């Protein structure tokens, strides 16, 4: 869709986000942009007061700002949550690319597979026996779909995604390049000769509106299921171990590693590079800071947590404050030790 056909008036965009227009309602908007880079035809946003002056002098045709904010741009949309309004407007002005329904001649699709007539199947895609692809779903170049896989409607499966057998994926799921769903979990039993593989015969269930970042891996359950709940968003290069149960609307940042049988309840936020031991339960509403480490079997209650091993944020800050003073304390200790040594020498000499 070209910009002219996509363009919306400020009035139309304000109605979309429930905002109040200050200025010319008829101004046409084509694109979203940052405050610094915006030009005529662009819309931008500002939330933090320290950027209000920059927004006031921006070349954008319209600025989204908090209600009553001291932003002097000639055309504004005032809303309670500018960043959310900006994201909603971006979805309208920059809709995702939707290829026409088709099946590329190089795709290999099993005769027993059920592919919706409105689906897009790209070059060199492989779809296994008894698998199903829903209405308006896109499967892009080189993706491999195993046997007995169910993929819902309006999904986007990006290039080189691998979905193993017997996996279920809901509607409006986005899997970015290199995602692997349903690989065997890391489960072994040791005897005198070495390690024997524990059965990895469970499944993976990805619920509606989930998005998984590039090169993320979700292992199948040993027995039972590994689950990613509705509306959860997972960043690039995250590993989800076997039999994990991740709830709804959870956010997990990049390079986090989650061991087997971890439960993360609804509405949790997990920072980047967090390490989870096995059999942990993270209760609904918990926030875990980046690079934290969580010992196996721990229950993480609601609140903000940080550190290795994790602790409440206030305790973590106090500990960091003490640690930052260690060089000073070390120097003081050396000076006190020297003074004690001198006093002992003086006492010894006086006794003599």
pLDDT of residue 173: 98
- pLDDT digit string, tens, across residues 15-62: 999 999 999 999 999 999 999 999 999 999 999 999 999 999 999 999
Predicted confidence band at 4 (pLDDT cuts at 50, 70, 90)?
low
Pairing state between β 20-22 and 28-29: unpaired
pLDDT of residue 157: 98
- pLDDT digit string, tens, across residues 61-119: 999 999 999 999 999 999 999 999 999 999 999 998 889 999 999 999 999 999 999 99
List the one residue out of 216, 105, 234 whose CA is nearest residue 160.
Answer: 216
242 flagged as catalytic: yes
Mean pLDDT comparison of 21-30, 46-55, 140-149, 316-325, highest-scoring range: 140-149
pLDDT of residue 102: 97
Q: Is the pLDDT of residue 309 over 70?
A: yes
Q: What fold, for 102-313?
A: UDP N-Acetylglucosamine Acyltransferase; domain 1 (2.160.10)
Predicted confidence band at 179 (pLDDT cuts at 50, 70, 90)?
very high
Predicted confidence band at 2 (pLDDT cuts at 50, 70, 90)?
low
- Report d(CA 159, CA 176) in Å as an integer: 7
Q: Is the pLDDT of residue 3 over 80?
A: no
Predicted confidence band at 5 (pLDDT cuts at 50, 70, 90)?
low
* Contact assessment for residue 152 and residue 137, using Cβ atoms and an 8 Å cutoff: yes
Choice among 140, 176, 239, 242 that is catalytic? 242
pLDDT of residue 96: 87
pTM beyond cutoff 0.75: yes
pLDDT of residue 320: 76
* Contact assessment for residue 182 and residue 204, using Cβ atoms and an 8 Å cutoff: yes
Long-range contacts of 271-276 (CB under 8 A, 24+ apart): 272/235
Q: Is the pLDDT of residue 1 over 70?
A: no
Taking the domains of the chain in order of start, what are their residue ranges?
3-93, 102-313, 314-352
What rounded mean pLDDT belongs to the chain? 94
Average the pLDDT over each of 146-155, 156-165, 314-323 and give the range with the smallest value: 314-323
CA 220, 248, 94 angle in degrees (round to 5)? 100
For domain 3-93, the CATH superfamily is: MurE/MurF, N-terminal domain (3.40.1390.10)
Average pLDDT for 207-233: 98
Q: Is the pLDDT of residue 348 over 90?
A: no
- pLDDT digit string, tens, across residues 108-131: 999 999 999 999 999 999 999 999
Average the pLDDT over each of 128-137, 157-166, 319-328, 330-339 and give the range with the smallest value: 319-328
Domain 3-93 shares a fold with domain 102-313: no
């Amino acid at each position: 869709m070209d910009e002219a056909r996509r363009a919306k008036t400020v009035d139309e965009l304000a109605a979309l986000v429930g905002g109040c227009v200050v200025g010319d309602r008829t101004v046409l908007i084509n694109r979203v942009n940052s405050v610094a880079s915006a030009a005529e035809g662009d819309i931008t946003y500002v939330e933090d007061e320290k950027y209000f002056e920059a927004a006031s002098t921006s070349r954008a045709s319209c600025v989204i700002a908090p209600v009553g904010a001291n932003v002097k741009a000639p055309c504004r949309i005032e809303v309670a949550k500018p960043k959310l309004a900006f994201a909603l407007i971006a979805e309208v002005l920059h809709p995702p690319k939707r290829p026409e329904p088709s099946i590329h001649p190089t795709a290999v699709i099993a005769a027993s597979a059920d592919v919706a007539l409105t689906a897009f199947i790209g070059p060199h895609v492989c779809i296994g026996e008894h698998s199903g692809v829903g209405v308006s779903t896109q499967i892009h170049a080189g993706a491999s779909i195993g046997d007995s896989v169910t993929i819902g409607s309006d999904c986007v499966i990006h290039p080189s995604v691998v979905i193993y057998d017997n996996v279920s994926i809901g509607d409006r799921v986005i899997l970015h390049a290199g995602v692997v769903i349903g690989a065997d979990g890391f489960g072994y039993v040791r005897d005198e000769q070495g390690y024997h593989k524990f059965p990895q015969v469970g499944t993976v269930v990805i619920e509606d509106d989930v998005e998984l970042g590039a090169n993320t891996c979700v292992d199948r359950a040993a027995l039972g299921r590994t689950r990613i709940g509705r509306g959860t968003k997972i960043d690039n290069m995250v590993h989800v171990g076997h039999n994990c149960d991740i709830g709804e609307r959870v956010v997990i940042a990049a390079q986090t590693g989650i061991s087997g049988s971890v439960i993360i309840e609804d509405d949790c936020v997990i920072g980047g590079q967090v390490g989870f031991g096995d059999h942990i339960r993270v209760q609904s509403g918990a926030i875990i800071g980046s690079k934290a480490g969580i010992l196996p079997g721990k229950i993480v209650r609601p609140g903000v947590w940080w550190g290795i091993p994790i602790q409440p944020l206030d305790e973590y800050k106090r500990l960091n404050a003490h640690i930052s003073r260690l060089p000073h304390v070390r120097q003081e200790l050396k000076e006190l030790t020297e003074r004690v040594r001198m006093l002992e020498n003086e006492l010894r000499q006086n006794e003599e």
